[in-house]
Structure 1
Amino acid sequence: MRISDLHFSDETELTYSAITQCLFKKENENGAAEYNELVKELIKNAADTDDFVASYLDEANAVKHNYYKSECYQIMLKIYDNNKAKEYCRKMLGRKYRTTISDAESLKIGNKNSVMYIPSLGTSTYTRYAILEKNEFYADNIMTHMLSFEGTKFNIYLQDKGEENKIDKVLDNGKYSVYSFDGIMALVKE
């Protein structure tokens, strides 16, 4: 197969432009030569675009060749394999994740002065979330940035509905960016 035979397009052509833009690394990027050769080899050996995508998304291969956290890998996961994308986000949260109960498919954050309900973009009654440092967060091309906030003494509540406001976790003072994907949320401390 040749590079020109790849077809990452959808009705709007957004998929095509998103993937082709990042499929190869720029020559001055770290490890570009080895990575670009690997991608060319995967294309050459693929029967069609789906075969290439399956080979490219092989987790062991991606980790071995150091593109597991790359923009292109994440974009392809999100487009071609929602289940793997969800698992990818779960792995990023690691053992830090906590679970809240969500009737409104949101995470309730606030204090005595104000409350925010941030959509989890999921369909479950449970929301998984983790508080991560900036250097621990790497699923920014899969997850949707919901909002940023800054303040002191913000609580994360165990439930997003009802009058009982049990606190699940208290956030450290500071600025946070909130990302969400399919019921998984990352609160990234800036």
Structure 2
Amino acid sequence: VCLLQNELLPYQWESHAIADPTVVAVWFEKKRNTGITEIIPSPVAGPRAGLVAEALGGLGLRTQSIDDITDDLILKNLYILVANIAGLEVGGTVGELWSNHRALVDTVAGEILQIQSALAERPTDDADMIEALGEVFLADPGHGTKGRSAPHRLRRAIDHADRLGLRVPDLRRIAAAHIP
């Protein structure tokens, strides 16, 4: 089994009794009528990591084989959720978000990391994660922020927080201002 999906964490495959899957934290995108845009190498872990790396390499994409992909999945989720949720508030690109709205990034990232850490059932080093987030933002600074899924992602993050008993006042404030 090979898993690749946004907002993926181990509890999701474990709840389906999928043991030892090959998992990719995908850091490239392909949209209709465009080429492939790679942001950074995609980490891959699991028994078929070599095969996945070879297949992606055939497309000219870089990978990084690792043993434990959980932190990389959290970083990917952090990227998507911060870009989308903070993008609802200010729009623009991830580079502009990082350069001009750092306080917003830090606030949203802090609340998202609370949720991700609880879902993954492991602590995160928030400072390291936010530093890595900045590196990824600056690897493709022209990448847009709020996609069409942004409101749904924000609602889902708040639903997770509610279920986990976490306070996320800034996510709620953004939702109240930008989701009808």
Which of the five TM-score ranges fits, normalised by the shorter chain?
Answer: under 0.3
* Structure-2-length-normalised TM-score: 0.28
Structure possessing the higher relative contact order (Cα contacts under 8 Å, 6 or more residues apart): 2
Structure in which a larger fraction of residues adopt helix: 2
* Structure-1-length-normalised TM-score: 0.27
Structure in which a larger fraction of residues adopt strand: 1
